[in-house]
Structure 1
Amino acid sequence: MESRIIAIKTTALFLAGCILLASCSSKTLIQSNPSGAKVYLNGEAVGTTPYTHEDTKIVGSTTTVKLEKEGYETFNTSFSRNEKTDVGAIIGGVFVLFPFLWTMKYKPERTYDLVKTTTIDKVAAVAVEKPSTVDSKTKADKLRELKKLLEEKLITQEEYDLEKKKVLAEL
Structure 2
Amino acid sequence: MEPQTRALPQTDLETIFGVVATLHGHLLADELPPGLTSHLLERLIEHGPLPDDATTGDMNALLADLCQRLHWAMSDDHRAYPEPAPRRTTHYLDIPDASAEACTAALTDLGGEVTLHRTDEDQAPTNRRHIAAVFPELPPNPDHHARVTQLTALARQHGGEYAGFGG
Structure ranking higher in helix proportion: 2
Instruction: Quickly name the TM-score band, shorter chain normalised.
Output: under 0.3
Q: Which has the larger radius of gyration?
A: 1
Greater relative contact order structure (CA < 8 Å, 6+ sep): 2
> What TM-score, normalized to structure 2?
0.26
Structure ranking higher in strand proportion: 1
> What TM-score, normalized to structure 1?
0.25
